[in-house]
């Protein structure tokens, strides 16, 4: 069975600075997707960034980028130039390619301070 582990329950960062959220996962599959989802307070979850396991190049979406280390089963999220609107719960997630179940980590609550 796949598992996703986020070891940082809470983090804070000053506005405009950079923060990295950690995630490790365990799977015996070779083809899968990894995701970071953002859940703002009292709001629905939305996708931040997605990585396909077969791609060696790290995904980037504007201020958000990942460091994907397949051999180490590590998938960290870097947020650059943090903004107050980045304050949210961030979930690392895993899905097998062609699968019908996404597994979430425990989440990291990020506070961006003015």
Partner 1 sequence: AAGVIQSPRHLIKEKRETATLKCYPIPRHDTVYWYQQGPGQDPQFLISFYEKMQSDKGSIPDRFSAQQFSDYHSELNMSSLELGDSALYFCASSSYGGATTGELFFGEGSRLTVL
Give whichever of 16 and 46 is closer to partner 1, judged by the CB atom. Answer: 46
Smallest distance from partner 1 to CB 42, Å: 9
Task: Note the residues at the interface with partner 1 (CB under 8 A).
Answer: 33, 35, 37, 43-47, 50, 91, 95-107
Q: How far is the CB of 71 from partner 1 (least distance, A)?
A: 21
Decide if 68 contacts 91 (C-beta within 8 A). Answer: no
Say how far apart CA 101 and CA 8 lie, in whole Å: 24
Q: Compare residues 32 and 112 and give the one whose CB is closer to partner 1.
A: 32
Query: In this complex, which beta carbon is closest to partner 1, that of residue 28 or of residue 101?
Result: 101
Enumerate the β-bridge partners of residue 75. Answer: 68
DSSP helix, strand, coil percent of the chain (3-state; round to 5) = 5, 55, 45
Measured CA distances, 8 to 5, 32, 62, 76, 98 (Å) = 9, 23, 23, 11, 30
Q: 82 vs 90, which CB is nearer to partner 1?
A: 90
Least gap, CB of 32 to partner 1 (angstroms): 8
Closest distance to partner 1 from the beta carbon of 114 (Å): 25
């Amino acid at each position: 069975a796949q598992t996703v582990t986020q070891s940082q329950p809470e983090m804070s960062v000053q506005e405009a600075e950079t923060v990295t959220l950690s995630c490790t996962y365990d799977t015996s599959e070779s083809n899968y997707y990894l995701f970071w989802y953002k859940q703002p307070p009292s709001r629905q979850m939305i996708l931040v960034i997605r990585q396909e396991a077969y791609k060696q190049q790290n995904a980037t979406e504007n201020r958000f980028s990942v460091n994907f280390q397949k051999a180490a089963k590590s998938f960290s999220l870097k947020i650059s130039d943090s903004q107050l609107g980045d304050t949210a719960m961030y979930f690392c997630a895993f899905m097998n390619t062609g699968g019908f179940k996404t597994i979430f980590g425990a989440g990291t609550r990020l506070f961006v301070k003015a």
